[in-house]
């Protein structure tokens, strides 16, 4: 009876430790998901060697009409068929240990994306990650500034010509 009681006590302690570890893991996963989903002006995806999305998040996903549920568990070909030909070489390069940068146009948005390998401490590539920064408004602002500069240069040119004509008239 004493042996059974001791064994029961050990099992109860082990079960309590396991519950604590599971609770800690759940809290950690919740925190990671909260951070990932609230990455400002960005989208992040993690993919495996089969180019299957393991994790997706960032507040810019919703702006493109995507969600983590639409990506996670699917390959790039399944989830984003219109972009697969453009993305797959970059993803494979990341899995081969190379980093690359690429502009991606999707859902009416423009993303500057950086594909990088995810390595274990010993250097083995276990997955790839893409961080996409939404630069749509910045690119629109750049285009507006360029157009305004061109308009200004045109106005300066017209003003210079008018001044030259005025000088010629006043001289005569």
In the structure encoding, which two tokens stand for residue 79, read together? 């989830």
- Residue 149 has a pLDDT of 96
Cβ–Cβ < 8 Å for 128, 91:
yes
- Which residues, including other chains, have CB under 8 Å from residue 114's CB and lie 6 or more apart? 99, 100, 101, 130, 131, 132
| The pLDDT of residue 47 | 97
- pTM across the whole model: 0.72
Quick one: tokens of 133?
Answer: 């920064």
The pLDDT score that the predictor gives to residue 170 is: 87
Asked if 45 and 129 touch (Cβ cutoff 8 Å), the reply is yes
> Which stretches of the chain drop beneath a pLDDT of 50?
none
pLDDT on residue 90: 96
Residue 97 CA, distance from chain mean position = 18
Q: What pLDDT was estimated at residue 36?
A: 85
């Amino acid at each position: 009876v004493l042996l059974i009681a001791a064994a029961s006590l050990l099992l109860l302690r082990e079960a309590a430790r396991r519950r604590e570890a599971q609770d800690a893991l759940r809290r950690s996963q919740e925190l990671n998901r909260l951070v990932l989903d609230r990455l400002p002006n960005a989208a992040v995806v993690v993919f495996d060697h089969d180019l299957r999305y393991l994790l997706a998040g960032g507040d810019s996903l919703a702006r493109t009409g995507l969600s983590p549920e639409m990506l996670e568990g699917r390959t790039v070909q399944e989830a984003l068929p219109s972009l697969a030909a453009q993305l797959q070489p970059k993803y494979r390069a990341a899995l081969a240990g190379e980093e690359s940068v690429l502009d991606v146009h999707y859902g009416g948005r423009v993303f500057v994306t950086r594909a990088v390998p995810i390595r274990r401490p010993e250097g083995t590539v276990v997955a790839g990650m893409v961080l996409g920064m939404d630069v749509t408004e910045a690119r629109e602002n750049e285009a507006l500034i360029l157009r305004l500069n061109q308009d200004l240069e045109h106005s300066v040119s017209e003003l210079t010509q008018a001044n030259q004509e005025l000088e010629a008239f006043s001289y005569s």
